[in-house]
């Protein structure tokens, strides 16, 4: 899946998100920074990001993603 499409999907749900990618499609790590995460537990931060990508996981167009979130 194209990194720019992943970023576009996340920005629709988390408009101030800053996304950076490390690796390739077989070993992709996504780092998302957003003030939206401030005060949220880590699990809630991850759920916000992963729920926005739910359709892509269900369709199989995205099958693996390592995620790191940062508040601001």
Per-residue pLDDT tens listing for the chain (72 residues): 789 999 999 999 999 999 999 987 678 899 999 999 999 999 999 999 999 999 999 999 988 899 999 997
Confidence at residue 1, expressed as pLDDT on a 0 to 100 scale? 79
Confidence at residue 20, expressed as pLDDT on a 0 to 100 scale? 97
Confidence at residue 15, expressed as pLDDT on a 0 to 100 scale? 97
**Which residues are 19's β-sheet partners?**
32
18 and 34 Cβ atoms separated by less than 8 Å: yes
Phi, psi of 45 (to 5 degrees): -60, -50
CA atoms within 13 A on the CB side of 71: 10
């Amino acid at each position: 899946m194209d990194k720019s499409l992943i970023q576009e999907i996340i920005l629709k749900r988390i408009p101030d998100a800053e996304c950076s990618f490390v690796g390739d499609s077989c070993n992709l790590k996504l780092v998302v920074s957003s003030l939206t995460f401030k005060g949220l537990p880590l699990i809630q931060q991850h759920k916000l990001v992963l729920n926005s990508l739910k359709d892509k996981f269900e369709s199989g167009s995205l099958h693996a993603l390592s995620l790191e979130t940062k508040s601001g």
